[in-house]
Amino acid sequence: MKTYSAKRLALYITALLLISNFGFFLIRSKKDFGEAFSILFIILFCTMSYFLVLFILNRYINEKIKPIYKTIREVPVSGKKSKLLETLNTTNITDVQKEVEEWAKNQTQEITRLKDLERYRKEFVGNVSHELKTPIFNIQGYVLTLLEGGIDDPRINKLYLQRTEKSIDRMISIVADLESITKLESGELKINLVNFDLVRLTEEVFELAQMLANERGISLQFATKTDKPIMVSADKKRIMEVMNNLVGNGIKYGKKRGFVKVGFYDLHETILIEITDNGIGMDKNDLFRIFERFYRVDKSRSREQGGTGLGLSIVKHIIEAHDQTINVKSVPDKGTTFTFTLGKAK
């Protein structure tokens, strides 16, 4: 019965009333008014009963269910405002129930999402504070030492000023990276699409990273043949930033006498770029969070390697700004592989 509309319920209730009282009305009407009039009386009784029951049911639905239904229809769901209640009288109870359940489910999901955002906001504020606190305290210590007489000591004045400069540079890097992410997220930072050779760009990245790679005993290699240019359509400056970050991470967290390999694979309309290292790798539980701002797998070791902790977040935003995707797979003590795609040059 819960699946019946108000009209159908009214019809069934009327039928039950008729069955229970049919004999009584029939006998009385035949006895007092004759057969023809009794049939007419029964028809009128049916009609009046039906509309009376329908009126009562609709009144009940309007008074009890309509306020609830109207409320959920006026609440925006998934960012879209529904129309006001228009056809409640023609909607059966099951439809209303389903919509209420769907609304409740959406609200639960929205609450969960808001809680996740609140948690992320708290973590983000804490991480920003922590990242900025270290260089600020360093600068404060160096300046106080100089003010208390260290400025006159030639053994420390220049050294402390140089260290102060490094701390300031770190703060500038953090602020600049945060500004880049904000612009990428808001769409303010536009992607300048040009055609360029991925092979040549990777060679430039290798040249810039060669000194650090030599210090750590890591070789930089192409995983695929690079006899011919591989032309893509993308923002060359931003993709250079992506490649520098991913190759640099492979070097920083690689093992001695290890490698960082870059390979290119043709996927018909796109080129798949794969950056692989045989370094320390990451645990499975860390993989889904590594693109978060300031997230570090090994916080103490990561800070020793330098960087702002924003590199992979910027990488993800740059690739997504190209309407492409980036993925990562990693095995502890085996290495890590990042893959992303770029559109071919037309």
In this predicted structure, the answer to whether residue 43 has a pLDDT above a threshold of 50 is yes
Q: Of 341, 329, 203, 312, nearest to 277 (Cα)?
A: 329
pLDDT computed for residue 82 by the predictor: 46
Greater pLDDT, 184 or 167: 167
pLDDT computed for residue 233 by the predictor: 94
Query: Kind of pairing, strands 270-277 and 259-267?
Result: antiparallel
pLDDT computed for residue 13 by the predictor: 67
Per-residue buried b or exposed e for 242-270, using 16+ beta carbons within 10 Å of the residue's own CB: bbbbbbbbbbbbbbeebbbbbbbeeeeee
- Which alpha helices (H) appear in 189-235, and where do they start and end? 198-216
- CA pair distance 20, 14, nearest whole angstrom: 10
User: What CATH number labels 120-186?
Assistant: 1.10.287.130
Rounded mean pLDDT of the chain?
76
pLDDT tens-digit map of 18-34: 655 555 555 555 555 55
Greater pLDDT, 323 or 311: 323
- CA pair distance 25, 21, nearest whole angstrom: 6
Reduced DSSP (H G I as helix, E B as strand, rest coil) percent helix, strand, coil of the chain, to 5: 60, 15, 25
pLDDT computed for residue 157 by the predictor: 84
Domain ranges of the chain: 6-108, 120-186, 194-343
Do 120-186 and 194-343 show the same overall fold? no
pLDDT tens-digit map of 87-115: 444 455 566 667 767 777 777 877 877 77
Give residues with Cβ within 8 angstroms of 205, minimum separation 6.
Answer: 240, 243, 244, 247
pLDDT tier at 79 (50, 70, 90 boundaries)? very low
Worst-scoring range by mean pLDDT, 17-26, 282-291, 303-312?
A: 17-26
H/E stretch holding 189: none
CA distances 13 to 60, 79, 91, 158, 182, Å, are 15, 42, 18, 97, 63
Percent of the chain with pLDDT over 70: 64
Which two three-digit tokens encode residue 132?
Answer: 């900025």
Percent of the chain with pLDDT over 90: 19
Running DSSP on this structure, what letter comes out for residue 90?
A: G
Burial class of residue 14 (count of CB atoms within 10 Å of its CB; 0-12, 13-18, 19+) = buried
CATH assignment of 194-343, given 3.30.565.10, 3.40.50.300, 3.30.1600.10, 1.10.510.10?
3.30.565.10
Task: Work out the average pLDDT over 206-223.
Answer: 91
- CA pair distance 33, 340, nearest whole angstrom: 90
pLDDT computed for residue 93 by the predictor: 57
Region of residue 179 (phi > 0: left; psi between -120 and 50: alpha; otherwise: beta): alpha
In this predicted structure, the answer to whether residue 203 has a pLDDT above a threshold of 80 is yes
pLDDT tens-digit map of 140-158: 888 888 888 888 888 888 8
